[in-house]
Amino acid sequence: MHRFANPAQFNRLANRLLPWLAAATATLLAYGLAQALWISPPDYQQGESVRIMYVHVPSAWMSMGVYAVMAISSAMFLIWKHPLADIIARCSAPLGAGFTFVTLATGSLWGKPMWGTWWVWDARLTSVLILFFLYIGYIALSDSFAHQERGKKICAILALVGFANIPVIRFSVEWWNTLHQPASIIRSGGMAIDPSMQIPLFTMGLAFALFYACLLLVRVKTALLQQKIRRLQFSGISDSFEASNEPVELTHSSTSIH
């Protein structure tokens, strides 16, 4: 990983991967949405409302997965001082917040016809809302320090501390008696849903993951470019300051009187 701390090497890798990732994302999204919205059958209990699951569940997976990327990157930054790790964590935060918002929004849309209410202070819903606030807090905190290195360390610590919420989200339906349904896709006995729903669901999950990877690469490339611009600007200001403080040699011409 340390060799990718070189911006030139990272950009070369990103430029190679981006076209393939973008093409795979578009293909999987098109196939997954077609399966989810038109081809897969309605649920015998939920009816057509089950189609919300094909966006809600992958978004929920990504909301936790992106935060795990942030926590791992923050640990790498604190332990090995890897500069690219901090950039990955910072660039991931808005993406994770977006996935979490979609999770909460689609969950509310599903909850109204199923539970009769848009929101309940359920253990699963509340812990996901806390995750959303963790993302927002990280984003706000990352831009609030004049001393960049100190801000990076504090943000990394926040990401690691906040990771304790991820197991709470995952096991909340098992630890507490909640309104949210327990694990209904993968159970100890294997897959719990029919292949007609399983295939589009996992297709959408993979499409969301590749979509995140594409956006992350673009955001990291942009962040590296902004860093380069700031260095050049700072270097130009320093050169101008040094030039303005150089001593000026005065030459006096002698005049002869005849």
Per-residue pLDDT tens digits for 126-146: 999 999 999 999 999 987 877
Question: What integer pLDDT is reported at residue 176 of this predicted model?
Answer: 73
Does residue 7 belong to any structural domain of this protein? no
DSSP helix/strand/coil, 248:
coil
Number of structural domains, the chain? 1
Question: What integer pLDDT is reported at residue 235 of this predicted model?
Answer: 74
Of 236, 178, 185, the C-alpha closest to 54 is: 185
Question: What integer pLDDT is reported at residue 250 of this predicted model?
Answer: 46
Question: What integer pLDDT is reported at residue 79 of this predicted model?
Answer: 92
Rounded to two decimals, what is the model's pTM?
0.86
Does residue 205 belong to any structural domain of this protein? yes
Question: What integer pLDDT is reported at residue 252 of this predicted model?
Answer: 46
Q: Which residues of the chain have pLDDT under 70?
A: 1-5, 179, 182-192, 236-258
For tokens 């963790």, the residue is: 134
Does residue 96 belong to any structural domain of this protein? yes
Does residue 117 belong to any structural domain of this protein? yes
Question: What integer pLDDT is reported at residue 3 of this predicted model?
Answer: 63
The pLDDT tens digits for 75-115 are: 999 998 888 999 999 999 999 999 999 999 999 998 888 88
Does residue 1 belong to any structural domain of this protein? no
Does residue 160 belong to any structural domain of this protein? yes
| 220/225 Cα distance (integer angstroms) | 9
User: 47: alpha, beta or left, given left = phi > 0 and alpha = psi -120 to 50?
Assistant: left
| 94/218 Cα distance (integer angstroms) | 13
Question: What integer pLDDT is reported at residue 241 of this predicted model?
Answer: 53
Half-sphere exposure of 217 (CA within 13 A, CB side): 20
Question: What integer pLDDT is reported at residue 238 of this predicted model?
Answer: 57
Q: Which domain holds residue 219?
A: 15-40+50-177+195-236
Does residue 129 belong to any structural domain of this protein? yes
Does residue 122 belong to any structural domain of this protein? yes
